[in-house]
């Protein structure tokens, strides 16, 4: 025990924050890898005219993630954030390898890969729920936006890594190319597992389980001021005491009780809008989008995903610079408005100028990605990590993650079907309208959280919910 304690004291805050957010690499790699693998997989298995099957193969991970997020969020309240992140890494490793060794059995191969990727999605969904919750509980209030934004930097770095791997492997024989692209996802999963082995548990989870001494020790790794540690412990303990006094046992119905409804709707709504706005249509299908616009083969357009990946990484770094300088709501509304216009304007220009350069839509998609990268992309996970009260945080984070993945799954599934039956500009215009609806939602339903402790956000939100419950006409 003493040896373990001495080892724990050597853990730096930089190590904790780095590996605490490293799960985003898994999330990002699997979002991006299918972008490059899909053209080779289509050719190898002769799926060029099977839009529905292509949609299912692409979106199977998101379908599994719907359940992975909800399950991991619930289990993390019982077993802890750290243990569940470790379990997610193991599941990710196993099913990444099984994806890469998919047997060639004709049409049955596609169904095998769909099932394996659904199971892989359990780990991806778990990571998307657990990492924001863990990071928000470790980060101090004044830097929570920036440090929680590390999750987004990891996600987009994972995406860029997968795009680069896809590009480097594109000259291999088609069968080997897509298999290696999918199977190499096991490498970052192994790195995550080894790193998280040394991570401490969240101090809020430890206090909730009654281990104040260990919670204080963990806070001493990441807070320099003893007075700050005492103040944070007292604040968390007060919240936990109120929960015990109420003898509250949370259930799914608890999330939408009058006390919590306001914050749950805000967090879940933002998570859902992020995906229904259509970002993953670009990330999954950009080579096919360029192919449809220009007529060039998708397998020769693998430089475009790298361009998108660079924009995403730069945008995530911009976000970390401005995260705690601007209100969350302001960034979401400005970003959503520009994203909506980036989708709608190509349809308007094409209607006014039928001979529009086909690459115009790709330019506008780059503008969309740029604004998405430092607004909705990182802020969704920052809000999901900080907006939910402690009593329901794991379960509510899982629900938000599930709604996010429902949107991601539906976009991944129906986008190839939609573009096969209608112009690309019209499809993106539909997403643009959803972006504008997202701005309206943020304006009317989401509270400001910048600079507030998690306990202050909880008090603000529950007070709002109680006022609404007592004054239903307001």
Residue 409 pLDDT greater than 90, yes or no? no
Average pLDDT, the chain: 82
**Is the distance from CB of 109 to CB of 48 less than 8 angstroms?**
no
Specify the pLDDT at position 208: 79
* Residue 229 to residue 77: CA distance in whole angstroms: 23
Q: What is the pLDDT of residues 191-203, one digit of tens each?
A: 999 999 988 888 8
Residue 472 pLDDT greater than 70, yes or no? no
**Is the distance from CB of 73 to CB of 396 less than 8 angstroms?**
yes
* Residue 23 to residue 26: CA distance in whole angstroms: 6
Q: In the predicted model, what is the mean pLDDT of residues 261-277?
A: 91
Q: What is the pLDDT of residues 25-40, one digit of tens each?
A: 887 888 788 888 888 8
Tokens of 151: 């999750």
Total length of the chain: 474
Specify the pLDDT at position 261: 86
**Is the distance from CB of 340 to CB of 435 less than 8 angstroms?**
yes
**C-alpha atoms less than 13 angstroms from C-alpha of 145 in its C-beta half-sphere:** 24
Residue 108 pLDDT greater than 60, yes or no? yes
Residue 260 pLDDT greater than 70, yes or no? yes
Which of the four pLDDT bands, split at 50, 70 and 90, describes residue 343? very high
Specify the pLDDT at position 67: 85
Residue 351 pLDDT greater than 60, yes or no? yes
Q: In the predicted model, what is the mean pLDDT of residues 339-356?
A: 87
**Is the distance from CB of 92 to CB of 196 less than 8 angstroms?**
no
Residue 117 pLDDT greater than 60, yes or no? yes
Specify the pLDDT at position 80: 85
- With a CB cutoff of 8 Å and minimum separation 6, the contacts of 396 are 73, 255, 260, 263, 264, 267, 268, 388, 389
Percent of the chain whose pLDDT exceeds 90: 22
Q: In the predicted model, what is the mean pLDDT of residues 400-409?
A: 83
Specify the pLDDT at position 255: 78
Tokens of 84: 């569940």
Q: Which helix (H) or strand (E) segment is 32 a member of?
A: helix 23-45
Specify the pLDDT at position 248: 53
Q: In the predicted model, what is the mean pLDDT of residues 456-471?
A: 61
Give the domains, in start order, of the chain with CATH numbers.
14-470 (1.20.1250.20)
Specify the pLDDT at position 143: 67
Residue identified by tokens 């709504």 is 269
Residue 440 pLDDT greater than 90, yes or no? yes
Most confident range (mean pLDDT) of 73-77, 173-177, 216-220, 432-436 is 432-436
Residue 245 pLDDT greater than 70, yes or no? no
Residue 7 pLDDT greater than 90, yes or no? no
Residue identified by tokens 């809008």 is 273
Rounded to the nearest 10 degrees, the angle between the axes of helix 424-445 and helix 261-276 is: 160
Degrees, nearest 5: CA angle 470-472-474: 105
Residue 258 pLDDT greater than 50, yes or no? yes
Residue 271 pLDDT greater than 50, yes or no? yes
Specify the pLDDT at position 2: 44
Percent of the chain whose pLDDT exceeds 70: 88
Specify the pLDDT at position 68: 85
- With a CB cutoff of 8 Å and minimum separation 6, the contacts of 101 are 179, 183
Residue 372 pLDDT greater than 90, yes or no? yes
Tokens of 368: 């969309």
Most confident range (mean pLDDT) of 129-143, 210-224, 265-279, 398-412 is 265-279
- With a CB cutoff of 8 Å and minimum separation 6, the contacts of 162 are 28, 29, 30, 31, 32, 33, 35, 36, 181, 185
Specify the pLDDT at position 8: 45
Output 31 or 267, whichever has higher pLDDT.
267
Specify the pLDDT at position 338: 97
């Amino acid at each position: 025990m003493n040896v373990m304690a001495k080892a724990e004291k050597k853990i730096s805050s930089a190590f904790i924050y780095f590996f605490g957010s490293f799960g985003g690499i898994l999330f990002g790699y699997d979002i991006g890898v299918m972008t490059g693998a899909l053209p080779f997989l289509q050719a190898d298995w002769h799926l060029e005219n099977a839009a529905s099957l292509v949609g299912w193969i692409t979106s199977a991970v998101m379908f599994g993630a719907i359940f992975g997020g909800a399950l991991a969020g619930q289990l993390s309240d019982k077993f802890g954030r750290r243990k569940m992140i470790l379990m997610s890494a193991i599941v990710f490793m196993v099913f990444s390898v099984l994806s890469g060794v998919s047997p060639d059995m004709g049409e049955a191969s596609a169904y095998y890969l769909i099932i394996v990727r659904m199971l892989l999605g359990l780990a991806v969904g778990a990571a998307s729920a657990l990492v924001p919750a863990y990071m928000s509980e470790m980060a101090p209030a004044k830097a929570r936006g920036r440090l929680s934004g590390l999750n987004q930097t990891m996600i987009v770095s994972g995406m860029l890594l997968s795009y680069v791997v896809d590009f480097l492997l594109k000259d291999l024989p088609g069968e080997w190319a897509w298999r290696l692209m999918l199977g190499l996802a096991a490498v970052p999963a192994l790195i995550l597992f080894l790193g998280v082995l040394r991570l401490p548990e969240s101090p809020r989870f430890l206090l909730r389980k009654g281990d104040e001494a260990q919670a204080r020790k963990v806070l001493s790794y990441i807070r320099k001021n003893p007075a700050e540690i005492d103040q944070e412990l007292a604040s968390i303990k007060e919240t936990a005491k109120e929960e015990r006094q109420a003898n509250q046992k949370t259930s799914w119905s608890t999330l939408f009780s009058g006390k919590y409804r306001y914050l749950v709707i805000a967090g879940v709504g933002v998570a859902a809008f992020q995906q229904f706005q259509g970002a993953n249509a670009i990330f999954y299908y950009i080579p096919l989008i360029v192919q449809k616009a220009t007529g060039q083969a998708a397998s020769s357009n693998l430089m475009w995903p790298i361009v998108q990946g660079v924009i995403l990484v730069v945008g995530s770094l911009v976000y970390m610079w401005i995260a705690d300088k601007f209100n969350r709501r302001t960034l979401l509304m400005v970003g959503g408005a520009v994203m909506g216009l980036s989708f709608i304007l190509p349809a308007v220009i094409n209607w006014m100028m039928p001979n529009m350069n086909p690459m115009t839509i790709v330019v506008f998609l780059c503008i969309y990605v740029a604004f998405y990268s430092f607004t909705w992309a990182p802020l969704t996970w920052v809000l999901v990590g900080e907006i939910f009260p402690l009593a329901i945080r794991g379960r509510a984070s899982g629900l938000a993650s599930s709604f996010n993945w429902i949107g991601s799954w539906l976009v991944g599934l129906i986008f190839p079907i939609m573009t096969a039956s209608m112009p690309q500009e019209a499809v993106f215009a539909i997403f643009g309208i959803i972006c504008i609806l997202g701005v309206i939602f943020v304006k009317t339903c989401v509270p400001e959280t910048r600079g507030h402790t998690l306990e202050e956000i909880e008090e603000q939100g529950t007070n709002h919910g109680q006022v609404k419950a007592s004054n239903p006409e307001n």
